[in-house]
Amino acid sequence: MKTAVVLGATSGIARALAGELAREGYGLILAGRDLEELEALAADLGIRYGAPARARRFDALDEKSHPAFVEECLEEAIREFGGELEGVVLAYGYLGDQKRAERDFEEARRIVETNFVSCVSVLHQFAAHMEQRGRGWLCVFSSVAGDRGRQSNYMYGAAKGGLSLFLQGLRNRLARSGVRVLTVKPGFVDTAMTFGKEGMMLVASPEAVARGVMKALKKGRDVVYVPGFWRWIMAGVRAVPERVFKKMSL
């Protein structure tokens, strides 16, 4: 059986994507901080799709625990699902408070460590295994916020921009070994992370995003904006000259 790990599995987007993977016949290792909620999600996937799923605790900010966590996932894929680990979805993040981050470095640190440093740490471990094996895929959620620094969320955008660049280099490195790396750049999505935030427009549902991501995975895409119109919106944002852009309130 094909097996995938979903990191941050209790987020709205991850739940929806786990359902899409279950429909495709994947066994799932659902990872996150809330073990009770993960176990409930695993049970739900089993009832809805007949998909075998296991819950495993994962602390993104405890980088020292990542090597052991990855080894446990690799062993569990073989022990519980009877096959090698095929894919990894990284779907966690921390939007944070931009205004607070401007005053409080600890908030800035948390945004950067959650959205960039921790991601590099755990992906580094999974990528090494897949490269050695010569197959597999990584599906990682970055953000359109990383396409250009804007005063309203540049701390989060900087972390996501760094993540996108890291994934670009990782994709270049792993391509020759047959491992695929998909960078997902969602726009505004109706999730707990964005609930109540000002300036939300063109908000997509987690289910619509998950369908777009699954389609991109099947097609072997490298980068996907979801919904797709965000590719053109961000192309326009990037095209604004800096001398003009710095005077805009975005």
Tell me the per-residue pLDDT of 47-67, one tens digit each, with 9 for 90 and over.
999 989 999 999 999 999 999
Measured torsion, CA atoms of residues 206, 61, 63, 103, in degrees rounded to the nearest 10: 120
pLDDT score of 32 more than 50: yes
CB atoms within 10 A of CB 171: 17
Nearest to 93 by CA among 111, 73, 109, 75: 111
**For 205-219, what is each residue's pLDDT tens digit?**
889 999 999 999 999
| DSSP states of the chain | --EEEEETTTSHHHHHHHHHHHHTT-EEEEEES-HHHHHHHHHHHHHHH---EEEEE--TT-GGGHHHHHHHHHHHHHHHHSS-EEEEEE-------HHHHHH-HHHHHHHHIIIIIHHHHHHHHHHHHHHHHT--EEEEE--GGGGS--TTTHHHHHHHHHHHHHHHHHHHHHGGGT-EEEEEEE-SB-STTTTT-TT--SPBPHHHHHHHHHHHHHHT-SEEEESTTHHHHHHHHHHS-HHHHTTS--
pLDDT at residue 81 greater than cutoff 70? yes
> So what's the pLDDT on residue 1?
82
The two tokens of residue 83 are 């096959």
pLDDT band at residue 194 under the 50/70/90 scheme: very low
The answer to whether 119 and 163 are in contact (CB under 8 A) is yes
Q: Tell me the average pLDDT of the chain.
A: 93
C-beta neighbour count of 199 within 10 angstroms = 8
The pTM (predicted TM-score) of the whole model is 0.92
Instruction: Tell me whether residue 94 is one of the annotated catalytic residues.
Output: no
- Domains of the chain (ranges; CATH) run 2-246 (3.40.50.720)
The answer on pLDDT for 29 being more than 80 is: yes
Rounded to an integer, the average pLDDT of 128-151 is 96
For residue 195, what pLDDT band results from cuts at 50, 70 and 90?
Answer: very low
The pLDDT of residue 200:
47
Q: How far is 226 from 203, CA to CA, in rounded Å? A: 11
Partnered with residue 54 across adjacent β-strands are 29
With left for phi above 0 and alpha for psi between -120 and 50, is residue 25 left, alpha or beta? left
Q: What is the pLDDT of residue 83?
A: 87
- Cα separation, 168 vs 87, in Å, equals 18
Report the C-alpha gap between 142 and 98 in whole angstroms. Answer: 18
Report residue 203's pLDDT band, with 50, 70 and 90 as the boundaries.
Answer: low
Catalytic residue, from 26, 49, 94, 156: name it: 156
Query: For 216-229, how does the pLDDT look when each residue is reduced to its tens digit (9 = 90+)?
Result: 999 999 999 999 89
